[in-house]
Amino acid sequence: MTQGNKDMRVGKLLLMLVIAFGINVITGTSVRAADADLAKWDKLAKFSPKSKIKVDHKLLSNLLKYAVMPYNARAKKGESQRIQRPRTGTKIRHSAARTSKRKRLNMIAFKFVRGNPTYRKALDNYLGYLQDVPVAALNRDQQLAYWLNFHNAGVLRMLIDGKKASQMDPNGQRKGPYFEPRFQVAGERISLADIRDNIILRNWKDASVLYGICYGGRSGPNMLAEAFEGQNVHALLERNARDYLRSPRGIKLVGTTLNYSEFFSWYADRFGGEQGIREQVRKYGDGQAVSNLDRVNRYRSKRFSWKLAELRSSSNALAAVANSGLNTSGNIDFGVWNHVNTGSGSGVSN
């Protein structure tokens, strides 16, 4: 064997050793990272089953009352509608809103909230407040309400900033603000996607929790006009499930075909596939849909629309609110507690 061939064999051997070492390092790093993530989710899954601690979500409820127009809050034809709001120093009169009652779709006044720095500041204060809550000291129902509110308030804030709702697609590219670890809870950096995928869906196996995760669009479950609380979280999830399964947003029977939202396809493992959708209709659907289920012999998934559930036109978009006297001085009363106004107090009570 010539010296050149020996050198070539030595070079190949060294290259193989370097590649093997690199793969080992990468694999070891990946395993350590996966172990660290698992430890993080286990840490955030801890709860106190006998805890009586309650988290105050009053601020979020008041913020949602300003921004969300429930589908059943229409005024009668020819009448204006006055909806009770926290005091702003001026009266707020809402015109009769042509909210889509047939679709049971709550509409969100993004135009209003984008134009009010005080609203955004209050929402940021609420998100900051949540990061200080001792989440492991809560019982499971308090935690579920906490995480659903955290996710939905974060989504609302993201959409106010004009970010695309489509980045939340579970089958998408998984990049954008929704996936950025912008929050810190119990010393751990987390994203909104983490709250949905690694906390809520990891720790609550019942499919009903999916009806509480808001995407801001017209095809998904509603953004409610009130916050979840530990004592009402399951009742509100059932209400949202009924609204979704009793509207064409969720399912629509056409002859013998059951058309269903792509939302159910995303979480087929949780809902149980097509048979599981039938069970959801039996549980939450209206009488007509339930009575016609036995005729169904075909299923068809409807593409999920990422178009925002947004009030737009002057007759429909809470036009009075935009000029209602909301100021930017921070004096608006959104029903905030001491923690938000002064930084004192936690908003958490026994």
How far apart are alpha carbons 190 and 161 in whole angstroms? 19
- Residues linked to residue 338 through DSSP beta bridges, in sequence order: none
Condensed to tens digits (0 to 9), the pLDDT of residues 112-141 reads 889 899 999 999 999 999 999 999 999 999
Residue with the larger pLDDT of the pair 339 and 195: 195
Task: Name the pLDDT band for 34 (thresholds 50, 70, 90).
Answer: low
Confidence of residue 294 (pLDDT cuts 50, 70, 90): very high
Q: From the CA atom positions of the chain, what is the Rg in Å? A: 25
What is residue 192's three-state secondary structure?
A: helix
Which residues form the domain of 143? Answer: 46-349
Query: Does position 226 have pLDDT exceeding 90, yes or no?
Result: yes
What phi, psi does 236 have (nearest 5°)?
Answer: -70, -35
Using the predicted structure, report yes or no on whether residue 65 has a pLDDT greater than 50.
yes
Give percent helix, percent strand, percent coil of the chain, each to the nearest 5. Answer: 50, 10, 40
Residue environment code for 189-204, b if the CB has 16+ CB neighbours within 10 A, otherwise e = ebbbbbbbebbbbebb
Residue 308: per-residue pLDDT: 94
Query: Residues 6 or more apart from 331 whose CB is under 8 A from it?
Result: none
Compute the distance between CA of residue 206 and CA of residue 161 in angstroms, rounded to an integer: 32
Cβ-contact 132, 338 below 8 angstroms: no
pLDDT of residue 36: 74
pLDDT of residue 173: 86
More confident residue, 147 or 80: 147
Say yes or no to pLDDT of 142 above 50: yes
DSSP string, 129-167: HHTTS-GGGS-HHHHHHHHHHHHHHHHHHHHHTT--GGG
- What is the dihedral sign for C-alpha 311, 314, 320, 324? positive
CA distances, 101 to each of 107, 163, 224 (Å): 10, 27, 15
Query: Per-residue pLDDT tens for 83-112?
Result: 334 343 333 334 334 445 667 899 999 988
Q: Is residue 167 domain-resident? A: yes
Q: How far apart are CA 211 and CA 240, in angstroms?
A: 6
The answer to whether the CB of 47 falls within 8 A of the CB of 146 is no
List pLDDT tens digits, range 166-222.
999 999 888 999 999 999 999 999 999 999 999 999 999 999 999 999 999 899 999
Q: Which residue did the predictor score with more confidence, 318 or 247?
A: 247
**Residue 79 falls inside a structural domain:** yes
Return d(Cα 148, Cα 209) in angstroms, integer: 9
**CA distance linking residue 55 with residue 141, whole number of Å:** 11
Total-model pTM? 0.79
Q: Under DSSP, is residue 203 helix (H, G, I), strand (E, B) or coil?
A: helix
Q: Is residue 96 part of a domain?
A: yes
> What count of Cα atoms within 13 Å lies in the side-chain half-sphere of residue 18?
6
Q: What is the mean pLDDT of the chain?
A: 81
Whether residue 262 contacts residue 303, with contact meaning beta carbons closer than 8 Å, is answered with: yes
Q: Is residue 159 part of a domain?
A: yes
Domains in the chain: how many in total? 1
Cα–Cα distance between 251 and 293 in angstroms, integer? 12
Instruction: Let me know if residue 35 belongs to a domain.
Output: no
Res. 147: pLDDT tops 90? yes
The predicted pLDDT at position 345 comes to 40
Long-range contacts of 206-209 (CB under 8 A, 24+ apart): 207/267, 207/270, 207/271, 207/272, 207/276, 207/280, 208/234, 208/237, 208/238, 208/241, 209/144, 209/148, 209/237
- Beta-carbon contacts of residue 190 (< 8 Å; ≥ 6 apart): 40, 44, 181, 183, 184, 198, 199
Give the model's pLDDT for residue 8. Answer: 66
State how far the Cα of 204 lies from the Cα of 189, in Å rounded to an integer: 21
- Assess if residue 86 is contained within a domain: yes
Max mean pLDDT among 3-7, 55-59, 216-220 falls in 55-59
| Residue % of the chain over a pLDDT of 90 | 64
Is residue 143 in a domain? yes
Residue 350, pLDDT > 80, answer no
Is 28 within the bounds of a domain?
A: no
Q: Give pLDDT, residue 40.
A: 97
Question: Cα(259)–Cα(32) distance, rounded to whole angstroms?
Answer: 44
Q: Under DSSP, is residue 217 helix (H, G, I), strand (E, B) or coil?
A: strand
Q: Please give the residue that has the higher pLDDT: either 4 or 322.
A: 4
Top pLDDT among 258 and 217 is at: 258
Residue 279 pLDDT: 97
